[in-house]
Amino acid sequence: MFHCKFSTCEHVFENVIQFFQHIKLHSNAPNYHYQCGVPDCTQMYRKATVLKTQMYRDHKEPDVKRKGAFKKSFNYVEPVPLFLGNYENGTELFAKYVPVQETLAALFKSESVREQYAATRLEPSTVNLYQDRYIYGEPHLCGTTRTAQSYQSHLQDLKISDTNSVCGIKSDSPFNQLGHFHVCQPGLPPCLGHDMFEGIVSYDLALLSVI
């Protein structure tokens, strides 16, 4: 797991600027610093300190000039605008996203990130797992909740069954190897990843179609 991210969007630049303004105007700790697992963070902080000094020469420095300085000194990935339509007054409405592929490419331009990745990529992490939860359909209509106990029972039934799945479970999820996680706590389906590993998708979609 990486301890630092270098690729940032425009909103982050503004937060960095505001942060340094706060340190400059209100902090009594001139030697403020932080530690990070990626060595390049030290260089980033030094660059930001120099830029901060330049910016404070004039608090009314043009926004374009400030953003340009940060984009030049930091690893920047240009957000892609998405046209969402128009307001009633005709003003165009946009949303922006930072491309994942370009973000990863920019991240791995850092030698320290590449070294950290090479040193840890084969070491499994059993602590953290990101879950993106969602509900599709009527949330008050549902079947029997899966539990860790019923999950294990279905796995046992699968071993003695002539079918290739029991209640949609085709095999034990590799995510269950994590030290602090089970796919049925608090219940399925919390994410598409383990559903596809197990073969739950087709079974649960069939239940949704009945509901």
Give tens-digit pLDDT for 53-72: 555 555 555 667 767 777 77
CA–CA separation, 172 vs 115, rounded Å? 33
* R_g of the chain, CA atoms, integer Å: 25
Least confident segment among 31-35, 76-80, 124-128, 177-181: 31-35
Average pLDDT in the chain: 68
With a pLDDT cut of 70, the percent of the chain lying above it is 47
**Tokens standing for residue 122:** 């084969």
Least confident segment among 112-121, 127-136, 161-170: 127-136
Grade residue 206 by pLDDT with cuts at 50, 70 and 90.
low
Q: What does the pLDDT read at residue 96?
A: 87
CA–CA separation, 20 vs 49, rounded Å? 8
**What single letter denotes the amino acid at residue 172?**
D
Decide if pLDDT at 21 tops 50. yes
Q: What does the pLDDT read at residue 139?
A: 56
For 127, list phi and psi in degrees, rounded to 5: -105, -55
Decide if pLDDT at 47 tops 60. no
Q: Collapsing DSSP states into helix, strand and coil, what is residue 85?
A: strand
Grade residue 156 by pLDDT with cuts at 50, 70 and 90.
very high
